[in-house]
Structure 1
Amino acid sequence: MDKAQLDAAYNNSQAVADFPALLTSFKSMSAEIWPAYAHRRNIRYAPQQDSARTRLDVLYGAGPGRKTLLFIHGGYWQACDKEDFAFIARPFLDRGINVILIEYTLAPQQTMTGIVGEIAQAISFIDANKAALNIEHSALYLAGHSAGGHLTSLFRSDRRIAKAIPISALVDLLPISLCWLNDKLRLTSQEIERFSPVRHIAPGMETLVCVGGGELPELVRHSKEYAQRLLQRGEKARFCAVADDNHFSLLTSLADADSDFFKTVYAFIND
């Protein structure tokens, strides 16, 4: 594909009707979460850094909370806030699973190398501070959507993570570097190689690779190829294509306790 084709192939917001209204609905649904559940907000996980975005929110599930889902938001590494996606937590919280929303510094203020480093710091902080966060006896599960799915894939080999759930993950950064997304990311050749999960399949945790069946073909390709590579390398992995969901309706399905997608993810966590 030439640049114009790549620009269209990775423009998720243009592929759906009225994306601004959709994001507003996400924010509205998320705002309803905070009064309904016990929580702690804006905990700094890298206080030594001069960044207001190295922070996380903890939402506490009903019951003993023996499992905690870490969720990394999307936005192509250059947009959105953790608060925008709190709505996905509801069905997990209702079933006793804690949810931690992780934020990170966005491009161009941060490089890809720096973003990956911040997620590493967040995981280390959470693991080292389980007692202080009141998740002392909780196993950690890592999930993320889009750019967050990419970051999730990079940490599936982290032994502190019980299982990984990359959703609509972008696992090859080469086409990302050739389209409009690189205007802010400014990926280096070293970053493209080092941080493309599909190029580095190492032994890791069991992984559920998810994508919407109605997403842009390039997004579906990333997930299919990643799942295939994991299986070819003998890794314990499953591929989940969610009916006709697009890049964003996939999240509303995840937030719906009656959806097949939520049931699949919940079963995967509890297997």
Structure 2
Amino acid sequence: MISDWNDAYANGAYIQGAEQFPEQWIQQAAQFREGLIAANRARLDLGYGASERERFDLFMPEGPAIGLAVFVHGGYWRMFDKSSWSHLARGAVERGYAVLIPSYTLCPQATIAEITGQIARAISQAAGMVSGPIHLSGHSAGGHLVSRMACALSPLGQGAASRLGHVLSISGLHDLRPLLKTDLNRELRLDWATATAESAALQAPRSGTRLTAWVGGDERPEFIRQSELIANIWTGCAVDTSLVVEAGRHHFDVIDGLADANSAMVDHWLSQ
């Protein structure tokens, strides 16, 4: 039985050198962006809404894009923006996809439901710029957001939704009700009704969904349980669902595979 829910959802305290990761991400992202800017293959700070943070970056492959791949960042809906994650587009870009990485308004300035709507608008706008299938990925809170796009009751427009391919939720949060017991909720402002409504594991999946819940084997038990949960429930809803527990990976390095076109993660995600 869990007695300390703050600890159950704490990641950094259990990762050696955790404080070094944000700066590494920023440096790797900037280096990748600079390369694509020089090649005229980066479209930066495109607006998809009225608020300051409703902006996305779109990274293009060398030739015509065969589809749209999306990465939605995490940070408990409270931290980061698109600029820390550009390098995670590398794998899909090198496989011939255009890659969308959006920012979104953070809690408490926005509710999680409002953020869900923003991500749907960003995907829909980018879908109008790139033809072909749309594959979604997201990490932690971003894993929640892309899973919500695959729910039957999703704000994603029918045009983009009809093109959804593989949804890859990496260390995603799929049942938000436990967060009511954490200090995070001071900023998330969830109650039982909103936590339930925004939990993908408690929603009916969209017909035809293909979802993989991918999680590190060295993550906190709650993140493993959350991934197991949606894989279990959505399998019971007759969805093409799989669970991957990647050995030796923790919450901060489990995303590294997205930056490698030859990784098992990218190969699995972009497979038809």
TM-score with structure 2 length normalisation?
0.90
The amino acid across from 1:35 in the alignment is E
* 1:40-59 → structure 2 map (5 Å cutoff): 40-46=43-49, 49=50, 51-59=51-59
**Alignment-derived partner of residue 22 in structure 1:** 21
Counterpart of 1:167 in structure 2 is 170
* Secondary structure in structure 2 of the residue aligned to 1:251: helix
Structure 2 residue aligned with 1:8 = 7
Aligned to 2:188: 185
Superposed counterparts of 1:207-222, under 5 Å: 207-222=211-226
How many angstroms apart in 2 are the aligned matches of 1:27 and 1:259? 21
Distance 1:13 1:253 in 2: 20
Matched residue, 1:124? 124
Q: Which position in structure 2 is the counterpart of 1:105?
A: 105
Q: CA-to-partner distance for each residue in 1:55-83, whole Å, 9 max, x for gaps?
A: 10000012221111111100000001111
The answer (yes or no) to whether the contact 2:138–2:170 under 8 Å persists in 1 is: yes
Among the aligned pairs, what percent are the same residue?
A: 31
How far residue 116 of structure 1 moved from its aligned partner, in angstroms, is 1.3
Q: Partner of 2:16: helix, strand, or coil?
A: coil
Give the match for residue 142 of structure 2. Answer: 148
Structure 2 match to 1:248: 252
Deviations 1:23-64 (A, max 9, x none): 100111111111222111111101xx3x21111000001222
Q: Distance in 2 between matches of 1:117 and 1:261?
A: 27
Q: Is the 8 A contact 1:201 1:229 kept in 2?
A: no
Q: Which runs of 5+ in 1 are unaligned?
A: none
Q: Take 1:67 and 1:243, find their aligned partners in 2: how far apart are those partners?
A: 30
CA distance in 2: counterparts of 1:260 and 1:65, whole angstroms: 21
Query: For 1:164-194, what per-residue CA distance to the aligned partner results, in whole angstroms no more than 9, with x for missing partners?
Result: 1111110011111211211211112221111
SS of residue paired to 2:85: helix
Deviation at 1:94, TM superposition (A): 1.6
Give the counterpart of 1:238 among 222, 237, 242.
Answer: 242
Task: Give the match for residue 270 of structure 1.
Answer: 271
User: Where do 5+ consecutive residues of structure 2 fail to align?
Assistant: 152-160
Shift of 1:236: 0.9
Is the aligned partner of 1:138 residue 2:139? no
* RMSD (CA atoms): 1.6
Question: Given the two structures, how large is their TM-score scaled by the length of structure 1?
Answer: 0.90
Q: Is 189-198 or 200-209 further displaced after alignment?
A: 200-209
Aligned pair in 2 of structure 1 residues 224, 6: CA closer, same or farther (>3 Å)?
same
After TM superposition, give the deviation of residue 258 of structure 1 in Å.
Answer: 4.4
Q: Which range moves more in the overlay, 111-120 or 152-161?
A: 152-161
Counterpart of 1:173 in structure 2: which amino acid?
L
Write out the 4+ residue segments of structure 1 that deviate beyond 6 Å after TM superposition: none
The number of aligned residues is 258
Equivalent residues in 2 for 1:15-94, closer than 5 Å: 15-37=14-36, 38-46=41-49, 49=50, 51-94=51-94
**Residues 112-152 of structure 1: CA distance to partner in whole angstroms, max 9, x if unpaired?**
1211121122122223x32xxxx2x3321111110000001
